Structure 1
Amino acid sequence: MALSWALAVLSLLPLLNAQSSSCVNFTVPITNASLDQISGKWFYIASAYRSPEYKEWVSAYQSAFFYFDSNYTEDKILMRQYSTINHQCVYNSSHLKIQRENGTLSGYDNGREHLCILILTKDPSIFMLAFSPEDKQNMGLTFYADEPKVTPEQMRQFHEQVICMGMEKSEIVYVDEKQDQCEALHKEHEERKKEKDAKSPKEGGK
């Protein structure tokens, strides 16, 4: 399963008003401005899960980073993910479906749809992804940033949301970007992409 397929964020302007407290608003729609904000490269930092399935899943990860390319007309996001799992690099590409009105994203794994609510705080360089926030037995939260290391303030915001949802800081699992095994493959893919872009004229718009 791709650890970070599920990523949705809140519109920046409503977000600044709606998320002044540590408990975020899970009902803000996704807009084009939201999608603009999440485009590019992101790093998986940490997560806390109650679901046994997801807990087993994240325990195998040493590190992960990914790219998002949004398609506004089709309401899809192309994800390219590089994960270090059990000390080996695993590459995955997939499409995520955007549900704009309820602020969620969904993706398929082994024929099953996984739904998540994705949220940004007032800091545009981080976001969090919530799973089943109303289900105490299966809830989960993941934390992402545009850099592999976060500031104490950014980590504090994640910790506050973990506690706000009803989980404990002791349930958090962290990753370590120093264990990344995907540098060589990522470099190879980026070089191929540059070669392809140089040969083909760029198309306007998305």
Structure 2
Amino acid sequence: MLASLALLLGLPLALATEPPSCAPLVPVTFDDATVPRLLGQWTYIAGASRYPPHLEELKAVKHAVFSFFPGSHEDELNVTESMRLNETCVMRNNSKIHVFRHNSTLVHVDDQVFSMAELIQSDKDLLILKHFNTTILGLSLSARTPNVSKEHLEEFKAHLHCLGFTEDDVFFTSEKEACPLPREKTGEGDAEPQLL
């Protein structure tokens, strides 16, 4: 009897210490306002993935800024990217994002490499993408500015936790690693970014 009483009294305490349940990530349903909202410049902040090619890229990206521009039709975006991959600054302006409104999916095409993602509902100045390749998931965070609020970062970390990622799985970029703009030199030995 004493054991069952202790069990009953301890049960609310045990339930109170359990982590909060994870709400499913809610993708944005694409409409006529979605694509224009994506246009402009974004700063890549952080990402996590278990897909080996993406994981290698996440480890190499030290800083990245990218911009979306209207493409040749309404469901296509042109992408320009400026990034530091390890010690090398790279500029790309030859990739595209295809928007599939029927399933609210974005497909990034770069040198015949395809990456699929869903835009997750969040603040208008955040770009949280759930990347998927077959059954392997990843999550990335970009923002309109190089810095995000503590609340936005906690939101992203909560999403990562719900997908089974730990803090050790997350790779962050640093504003200190930003590449100089073309023709901008910051000191001796700085080279102009390579155009790919």
TM-score of the superposition, structure 1-length normalised? 0.71
Deviation at 1:86, TM superposition (A): 1.7
Structure 1 contact 22–160 (Cα < 8 Å) conserved: no
- Post-superposition CA distance 1:168-191 (Å, at most 9, x none): 22211101011112x32187xxxx
From the superposition, tell whether residues 91 and 52 of structure 1 become closer, same or farther in structure 2 (CA, over 3 Å).
same
Match of 2:165 in 1: 167
Alignment of 1:185 with 2:186, yes or no, is no
Q: Larger radius of gyration, structure 1 or 2?
A: 2
Alignment of 1:103 with 2:104, yes or no, is yes
AA aligned opposite 1:128: I
Match of 1:13 in 2: none
State the identity %.
25
Structure 1 contact 116–129 (Cα < 8 Å) conserved: yes
Alignment of 1:145 with 2:146, yes or no, is no
Deviates more, 1:152-161 or 1:70-79: 70-79
Across the two proteins, how many residue pairs are aligned to each other? 163
AA aligned opposite 2:161: I
Match of 1:120 in 2: 121
AA aligned opposite 1:185: P
AA aligned opposite 1:180: A
Match of 1:14 in 2: none
Match of 1:25 in 2: 26
- SS of 2:145 mapped into structure 1: coil
Structure 1 contact 81–92 (Cα < 8 Å) conserved: yes
- Post-superposition CA distance 1:101-143 (Å, at most 9, x none): 211111234423221112231x1111211112883xx210010
Match of 2:38 in 1: 38
Match of 1:63 in 2: 63
Structure 2 contact 48–58 (Cα < 8 Å) conserved: no
Deviation at 1:23, TM superposition (A): 3.2
Match of 2:15 in 1: none
- SS of 1:101 mapped into structure 2: helix
Deviation at 1:71, TM superposition (A): 4.2
AA aligned opposite 1:151: S
Structure 2 contact 115–132 (Cα < 8 Å) conserved: no
Match of 1:6 in 2: none
Deviation at 1:69, TM superposition (A): 1.3
AA aligned opposite 1:184: L
Structure 1 contact 120–126 (Cα < 8 Å) conserved: no
Structure 2 contact 146–175 (Cα < 8 Å) conserved: yes
AA aligned opposite 1:61: V
TM-score of the superposition, structure 2-length normalised? 0.75
- Post-superposition CA distance 1:16-60 (Å, at most 9, x none): xxxxx853213x431221112111110000001111221111111
Distance (whole Å) between structure 2 residues aligned to residue 78 and residue 133 of structure 1? 22
AA aligned opposite 2:44: Y
Distance (whole Å) between structure 2 residues aligned to residue 154 and residue 88 of structure 1? 29
From the superposition, tell whether residues 78 and 186 of structure 1 become closer, same or farther in structure 2 (CA, over 3 Å).
farther
Distance (whole Å) between structure 2 residues aligned to residue 131 and residue 72 of structure 1? 24
